[in-house]
Amino acid sequence: MREKSYVEDIDRSIYDFKDDEKDAYKVKAGLTPEIVQKISDEKKDPAWMQLFRLHSLQIYNQTPIPDWGPSIEGLNMDDIVTYVRPNTKMKAKWSDVPDDIKNTFERLGIPQAERKSLAGVGAQYDSELVYHNVRAEVAAQGVVYTDMESALHGEYADMVRKHFMKLVKPTDHKFAALHGAVWSGGSFVYVPKGVSVEIPLQSYFRLNAPGAGQFEHTLIIVDEDADLHFIEGCSAPKYNVANLHAGCVELFVGKNARLRYSTIENWSKNMYNLNTKRAQVEEGGKIEWVSGSFGSHVSYLYPMSVLKGRGAKMEFTGITFAGKGQNLDTGVKVVHSAPDTSSYINTKSISKDGGISTFRSSVSATKAAKNTKSAVSCQSLMLDDISRSDTIPAMDIRTKDANIGHEAQIGSISDEAVFYLMSRGMTEEDARACIVSGFADDVSKELPLEYAVEMNNLIRLEMKGSIG
Amino acid sequence: MGKNLLTVKDLTVNVEEKEILHGVNLTIGKGETHVLLGPNGTGKSTLGNTLLGNPKYNVTRGEIWFQGKNITEEPVNERAKMGLFLSFQNPLEVPGVTLSSFIRSAVELKTGKRMRLFEFRKELEKAMEVLQMDPSYADRDLNVGFSGGEKKKAEILQLLMLEPSLTILDETDSGLDVDAVRTVSAGIEAYRRKCGGSLLIITHSTKILESLMVDQTHIMVEGEIVKTGDASLVEEINRDGFGKYEKSLA
């Protein structure tokens, strides 16, 4: 309500500006062993990684395209450029980042956010990180936050090798295999035993090159009794050719540790977002997912949690907003494989202007998962009668001793509510935006403040001109 | 339209193709208090909703003039900004907006001026005191989880803060216990004292009228105003009910 004065100023151009392409190096479009070899050479991979990439490529070539979700026919891998190195080495000082790239992130508000409320920031531009910085006091606690490439060579090389694509294996699905072959960039985070990182770490991913893919790998290990909040944000300008995002996130949550992983994804609407995220939680540990999906043309996104130790917990709060030309297939997976584990899933989806939003949930519990609790709640709001919203729940419960609940609701904006707000002076457009923001409110309450503001702005932006 | 605040001429209203109001005429002057009585389901709320411009109610004939302007085609929010206010029978729950920020933005939309937070909060607290509302309600989401009584009080709170020139109270007293009716009445009196606004009180009981000076009473039966009189008409209805007027129509 009160933020109205600056809501008016926002327009899509804050995401849609494009920089000239001044890449230092770019591989040819398409995917061959030679290209994968080149990427590997370019990145000075250790030998095992080079083999891993080539092996993943084989799996990729043998694996069929998924046939159960939105169409990805518009995505032709022969046209996708898998590796674009920006024209800079990674910098630890913001002032050293080249001006055009710096301006991009300045416009997206990244360094401002760091100064205000972040413990560390990484910024990736196309295939490589261009900036990385951690506050001295956080580094002094032993917290490691670095780009994946440095992690592969440095002190933590063994730890990376032990965990890299062990949770999400290249054999999982075609795009996991693709990721294994051409991944580049991303972050490695290690929080040592007993360390609480008081303020969040953040990575921001920006894809500038047209027709390119972004394949960043995020590996986070939160050791016993440690605590971390990690935020990722993504955006890209709109091009007329298909772009592809097939990132991978692997999260290891130790005994009695807690990790909160927040994402606001606002890829442009020519993006195929085929992202894989997975967490493994040990005894007494907790993973909290907060996820906002607004952008992309097609999304396949189902963060998965494996509750491996006794008493492990998972909480998922998410929102998906599918507008014109968008087919967003999102959801949550959880596997209860130990006693006393619990999962709590609360999602909202909004569809308008013919947008399609599908929510899939999969809850499974093994025989060992005695006294398991799971609650899934999914609410959908359709803003017109040409949009679509589906809920597809799946459950596989192998223990009798479980308490599993699922509820789904689909509704539209009530005319009475619009009339009520208008009767206090609000325009119809504002009244509708206010109701949609309200619908999303319990998600935005979970987000860090500036992201909640961004989400509300995105909603208002989407609602602008939505009255026929 | 002279000094009249509201003039309704030959107002005929359909809801989903069914005619509910059949040519209603009504005039309300500045500072006057009018009561609209009638049995359930005779179109009283339809009149209130139509005056505010609820798109569910379709005006097929007639005109609504407010402050010397024909507002029959005006959008709801413009009528609100001109000083028309409807207190809802069932106020809606709006998560994500606090009562306080909702009222502040409504006040700013009406006056077109920014209001300083400190002054606003002070005035809001004063108004909440009149209504015996727990101050914590100011920071709760609009009507979310409010009891029936608290919702009605929240409506009167908006009335006190917005100071509209004409207020329509749609069954504000229904479902309230005696104490709550008394508190709401005190709020309405405070509104009259504060800005001298006019009132159109829609009700089918008369409890809420006990402490108010009534200028005119209208009886509505089956979508028509069948009788207009002074305050004594309220007593007559209290004593004899609507039977006489219902029969006269048949």
- A15 pLDDT band (50/70/90 cuts)? low
- Residue A413 Cα, gap to closest chain B Cα (Å): 11
Q: Is B10 left (phi over 0), alpha (psi -120 to 50) or beta?
A: left
Per DSSP, the three-state class of B228 is strand
Tell whether the model's pLDDT for residue B142 goes beyond 50. Answer: yes
Whether residue B121 lies within 8 A of chain A, CB to CB, comes out as no
Q: Is A357 left (phi over 0), alpha (psi -120 to 50) or beta?
A: beta
Mark yes or no for CB contact B158/A414 under 8 Å.
no
Whether residue B85 lies within 8 A of chain A, CB to CB, comes out as yes
- Residues B165 and B5 sit within 8 Å (Cβ to Cβ): yes
Query: Of B45, B76, B116, B120, which to mutate for an interface test with A (greatest number of A Cβ within 10 Å)?
Result: B76
Mark yes or no for CB contact A425/B158 under 8 Å.
no
A1: nearest CB among B52, B79, B102: B102
Q: What's residue A1's pLDDT?
A: 32
Query: Of A319, A421, A446, A467, which to mutate for an interface test with B (greatest number of B Cβ within 10 Å)?
Result: A421
Domain layout of chain A by residue ranges: 4-463
Cα separation of B165 and B194, whole Å? 11
- B96 pLDDT band (50/70/90 cuts)? confident
- A117 pLDDT band (50/70/90 cuts)? low
What are B30's two structure tokens?
């500045």
User: Mean pLDDT over residues A189-210, rounded?
Assistant: 87
Helix (H) or strand (E) holding A232: strand A227-235
A4: nearest CB among B88, B95, B105: B105
Tell whether the model's pLDDT for residue A81 goes beyond 60. Answer: yes
For A118-155, what is each residue's pLDDT tens digit? 667 777 777 777 777 788 888 899 999 998 999 999 89
Query: Of A3, A422, A429, which to mutate for an interface test with B (greatest number of B Cβ within 10 Å)?
Result: A422
Q: Where are the beta strands (DSSP E) in A257-371?
A: 258-266, 271-281, 286-293, 298-301, 304-307, 313-322, 327-336, 342-351, 356-365
B22 phi and psi angles, rounded to 5 deg: -115, 75
* Average pLDDT along chain A: 86
- Higher-confidence residue of B103 and A132: namely B103
CA dihedral A44, A47, A49, A54 (to 10 degrees): 100
Q: In chain B, which residues have their Cβ closer than 8 Å to the Cβ of A7?
A: none
CATH topology of domain B4-249: Rossmann fold (3.40.50)
Tell whether the model's pLDDT for residue A171 goes beyond 90. Answer: yes
What are B109's two structure tokens?
């939309």
Give the ipTM of the model, two decimals please: 0.95
Tell whether the model's pLDDT for residue A10 goes beyond 70. Answer: no
Q: What's residue A468's pLDDT?
A: 39
Q: What's residue A112's pLDDT?
A: 64
For chain A, give the number of residues.
Answer: 468
- A361 pLDDT band (50/70/90 cuts)? very high
Interface of B with A in 35-64 (CB under 8 A): 49, 52, 54-56
Q: What's residue A7's pLDDT?
A: 29
Tell whether the model's pLDDT for residue A427 goes beyond 50. Answer: yes
Domain layout of chain B by residue ranges: 4-249
Closest CA to A290 of A252, A257, A316: A316
Query: Of B57, B93, B94, which to mutate for an interface test with A (greatest number of A Cβ within 10 Å)?
Result: B94
User: Mean pLDDT over residues A223-249, rounded?
Assistant: 86
Tell whether the model's pLDDT for residue A225 goes beyond 70. Answer: yes
Tell whether the model's pLDDT for residue A467 goes beyond 60. Answer: no
For B47-81, what is each residue's pLDDT tens digit? 999 999 999 999 999 999 999 999 999 999 999 99
Closest CA to A347 of A364, A366, A360, A334: A360
User: Mean pLDDT over residues A337-352, rounded?
Assistant: 96
For B207-226, what is each residue's pLDDT tens digit? 778 878 899 999 999 999 99
Q: What's residue A182's pLDDT?
A: 94
User: Mean pLDDT over residues B161-189, rounded?
Assistant: 92
Residue B92 DSSP label = P
- A250 pLDDT band (50/70/90 cuts)? very high
Tell whether the model's pLDDT for residue A16 goes beyond 90. Answer: no
Tell whether the model's pLDDT for residue A253 goes beyond 90. Answer: yes
- Higher-confidence residue of A191 and B95: namely A191
Whether residue B146 lies within 8 A of chain A, CB to CB, comes out as no
Mark yes or no for CB contact A435/B106 under 8 Å.
no
Q: Is A429 left (phi over 0), alpha (psi -120 to 50) or beta?
A: alpha
A425: nearest CB among B56, B80, B91: B80
Tell whether the model's pLDDT for residue A188 goes beyond 60. Answer: yes
pTM: 0.81
CA-nearest residue to A442 within chain B is: B96
Cα separation of B241 and B234, whole Å? 10
Tell whether the model's pLDDT for residue A103 goes beyond 90. Answer: no
- B167 pLDDT band (50/70/90 cuts)? very high
What per-residue string of b and e applies to B93-126 under the rule 16 or more CB within 10 Å gives b? Answer: ebbbbbbbbbbbbbbbbbeeeebeeeebeeebee
